Every structure is written in structure tokens, then in C-alpha cells.
Amino acid sequence: MLIVMKFGGTSVGSAERIAQAASLVTDARSNGHRVAVVTSAMSGVTNTLIDAARAASKGQWDPTIRQRLFELHRTAASVLVADEASRARVTEEIDRRLDRFEKLCFGLSMVHELTPRLLDAISGIGEMLAAPLVAAAIRSRGSGSESVDATDILVTTDQFGGAEPIMEETRARTTTQLGPMIARGDAPVVTGFIGATIDGVQTTLGRGGSDYSASILGAALDADEVWIWTDVDGVMTANPSEVSDARTLAEISYSEASELAYYGAKVLHYKTILPAFRKRIPVRILNSFNPSHAGTRVSVEGDPSVPGVKAVTSIRGVSLIGISGTGMQGIPGIVAKAFDVVAEQQSNVLMISQASSENNICFVISAAEAPGVVKALKSALEFELARGHIEEIASQPVAVVAAIGDRMRGTPGIAATVFGALGSERINVIAISQGSSERNISLVVEEKDAAAAVRALHQAFRLDRTGVPA
């Protein structure tokens, strides 16, 4: 089968890690698979590049950064590539790319301005340093490989810092450029995270975007599977730092994965899943530090044999905004006005709840955005406040705890188990929301109660064992 394998920053974080990544590629080749690779920057490099760009734009350019980045990659090359000529070629390429980095930063330090476009040109260099190394490591293990700049194949919109793929053009270029390499048995190594506009201006897909690159290229190549090599065993039933007996889920559906990502499980960004999902391409999350673990498979069906709740997750750093007043009943337009304001403030709503008495609507947004939103709401709803239709617009810091699972739908008794579990831990539930998809029950609790709430639900649904409701 054709596999797109993506290696995250920690999976290419050192010469040793890159050697391991290269072996995983050549192993798959020996098992008869065709492989296209997507690599992240070596861990920490993207942050270094971004910090350097920011500092340079304030006139503080530190010339030792180039040298440090060069040493990091050169040292790795010296361990990974035995052949002298090949090593020299890789080192030269890295040097050339760092030259560009230095020139861009130098420019920033002159103009004292950092545009999103320039930041993309700089922050994406880490992947361009890593890809030649990974390709050389694969070659020195006896498989054909070449590095490919995604700027040549992944065509995006010009939303710098968060560009979106233009699939048709990407597919055309990807099949023309990668197709022949893959067909002759080579494993091309594509830079993750970056792309370019149709005019060739470098863009990035947003932080952590290499997973997205892998899913986009998987879709463009009609791959059979996308494998995301990371540093954890897969998607877990809960955050293991919060729940000691959390375990890896063998199989989840795309919708469960996106619910989980939305509610803070950091394993896969929800956007990442879309291109693969549209093509029904299964995505595996695998641990390059523990490659014999089967990881988590994300597919259309998920695991239909597991009813009820599959995972419990939480988001911190959010605020509950409440608009209340007995005079709100039956007055149309308050909700519309409120959410217009939220949209104008460019604030993202995580959950919404309104009692049918209509005396209160509440919603959850990022805590950082709360003061601005409350202020804007008070001004937009001034008339309703003055008339007493609305008595209060208030915000309070909270956490959202979510129980997630496709087959919560039609499984009776889930809500009872949720409230029973929280009740016996004496955890107060401030607000509740369940979408009609029934894939998710979200509960607003005080931040101090969040960890206990997650543990109580994990326990109540026996997620340490089977995921079957208690």
C-alpha cells in the first residue's frame, strides 16, 4: 500500500531520532509498501526561528543563532551520512537555507517590521533544514530518497500564518512531482508545515501544521493510509497526567477525533483530519519512540463495538459569559445580537447553552477574549439593559469537561451516569450542553473541579477497561 508517513519534531529531534525515522521508512519499504515522507522541523527549531525573527524586527538580531542552527543540523548530518560527498551536499544545502534565514532577519532588523508574510518565510525554514537530512538518512540506509520543498507542490491561499490548501492544484503538482519518485520505489521527503501561493510566495499552514501537510498530501496522492509518527502511543481515553489509568484507544472515528481535538486533546488538530476524511483515508497515530505499539487508528467507522463514552477531556483557560434577566423571555433578537458581537470580536464560541425559560443564555469563550466580549456586549445591548430586559452580563473563569463518543447516541443512561458521578464527587455543574449529534456532552465546571470531574467520569464509564458504560 501507499503510506504517507509524517514525523513530528521530536521524531526528528536528533541524529538518533532521524536514524530511527529513516529505519521506520526503510522497514515499511522492505515490507512492500510505497512511502512518501513528510517531516517537521527538528524539535525547538521553529520556535527558535520565530523568536529570532521577532527579535530581529525589534533591532535585536543575534548572529550566533545561525551558527547554532547550523551546528545542530551539521552534527546530525555527520552522524547520519557516512558518504563524504553526500554529506557535503547536505551540509551545503543547509548552509544555503540558513543564508536566506540570516538575510531575511537582517532585513527585518533594518525595517523594524515583521509582516505575517515574512514570518512565514522565516518560520518555515526549519522544515527546509530537516528534509535534506531525513532524505540523506534514508539514502544511507539503502533506499532511494530526495527532499522536496512543499512550496513546489502544496499550493495554498495567501492567509499567511494559517493558509488553506488549494486541493486541485496541489493534487496536479503532487502527482506530477512525487508520482514518478514513488513509482520507482523512492521515498520522497516533503517539508511539512509550509506551502506556497499560486504565485510561489511561501506560506505556512499554522503551528503544528505538518500533520495537516501529511493529510493533504495523503489525499492528493490517494494514499491508502496516513501514519503520524509522534511521541505518544496514540489517542488516549483521557489526559494521562490527569488520569493515571488512562489508556490508548485502538480505533476512533474521524468525528470522535475531531471532537477530541476540539476539546483539547493535543494529538491531532481537527483540521488535520479533513482532507483524509474526505477521501476516507485512515490515519494512524504512532509512537516513534515505541514503534511496536499499534497506536490509534482513525477511520470512518471508528470502533462500532464500543458503545457509550470513549474518552473524557477538558479545556482550561476559558470563561463562561452569561446574559440573564427575567425580561429576556420572548424578546426576539437578543441571541442574534449577542452572537453578532462575539463574531465581531472574532471570538470563537466553544459551547452554548440556553434554558427553555429563556431567562439566561450562556456560552464559553477563551478567557483572554472575555473582557473585550463583555464590554462589547454591554454596549450592543445597552437598550435592553436600560429597559431591564437584561439584568446582567457577566463572565467567570471556568473549565469545560467533555465526554465524547459516537455511540453515545441512542445509548440511554449516559447523562444519568455523568451526573451521578459528578454528584457523588460533590462537583457542581454550572452549565450543560449536548449537541443533537449526541457525540458529546459538555459540562461547565469551576476550574478547580476540572481534574476531579475528568477522573470521576473516566471511572464511571470504566474507561480504564472497555469503555462500556457503568
The residue number whose beta carbon is nearest to Mg ion equals 9
* Burial letters 305-326, b for 16+ CB under 10 A, else e: ebbbbbbbbbbeebbbbbbbbe
Q: How far is CA 421 from CA 24, 448, 461, in A?
A: 43, 17, 9
Strand partners, 396: 320
- Cβ proximity to ligand ASP: between 193 and 262 the closer is 193
Per-residue x/- marks for Mg ion, 11-50, CB under 5 A?
-----------------------------x----------
- Cβ proximity to ligand ASP: between 268 and 318 the closer is 268
- Cβ proximity to ligand ASP: between 127 and 259 the closer is 127
For residue 386, which phi and psi values (nearest 5 degrees)? -65, -40
CB of 41 to Mg ion, least distance (A): 7
Which run of H or of E encompasses 360?
strand 360-366
Task: State the angle between helix axes of 45-57 and 125-139 in degrees (0 to 180), rounded to the nearest 10.
Answer: 150
193 is in the binding site of which of Mg ion, ligand ASP, none (Cβ under 5 to 8 A by kind)?
Answer: ligand ASP
CB of 125 to ligand ASP, least distance (A): 10
What value, to the nearest 5°, has the Cα angle with vertex 395 and ends 393 and 397? 170
207 is in the binding site of which of Mg ion, ligand ASP, none (Cβ under 5 to 8 A by kind)?
Answer: ligand ASP
CB of 248 to ligand ASP, least distance (A): 21
Given strand 311-324, what is the order of strands in its sheet?
Answer: 351-354, 360-366, 311-324, 392-404, 440-445, 429-434
Pick from 3, 4, 6, 9: which binds Mg ion (CB under 5 A)? 9
- CA distance linking residue 270 with residue 251, whole number of Å: 16
244 alpha-carbon distance from chain centroid = 24
Sequence-distant (6+) residues with CB within 8 A of 181 are 144, 146, 148, 187, 188
- Cβ proximity to ligand ASP: between 38 and 238 the closer is 38
Sequence-distant (6+) residues with CB within 8 A of 123 are 46, 49, 50, 53, 193, 204
Nearest to 307 by CA among 470, 467, 460: 467
Binding flag, residue 253, Mg ion (CB under 5 A): no
- Cβ proximity to ligand ASP: between 40 and 237 the closer is 40
CB of 164 to ligand ASP, least distance (A): 16
CB of 120 to ligand ASP, least distance (A): 11
253 is in the binding site of which of Mg ion, ligand ASP, none (Cβ under 5 to 8 A by kind)?
Answer: none
CB of 6 to ligand ASP, least distance (A): 8
For residue 404, which phi and psi values (nearest 5 degrees)? -125, 140
| Distance, first Cα to last Cα, the chain | 40
192 is in the binding site of which of ligand ASP, Mg ion, none (Cβ under 5 to 8 A by kind)?
Answer: ligand ASP
- Cβ proximity to ligand ASP: between 26 and 39 the closer is 39
CB of 192 to ligand ASP, least distance (A): 5
Q: Binders of Mg ion: how many residues, by CB under 5 A?
A: 3
Q: Which cell goes with 54?
A: 521577532
CB of 290 to Mg ion, least distance (A): 18
- Cβ proximity to ligand ASP: between 228 and 398 the closer is 228
Under the rule (CB under 6 A), what is the footprint of ligand ASP? 8-9, 40-41, 46, 126, 192-193, 207-210
CB of 208 to Mg ion, least distance (A): 5
The residue number whose beta carbon is nearest to ligand ASP equals 210
Binding interface with Mg ion (CB under 5 A): 8-9, 40
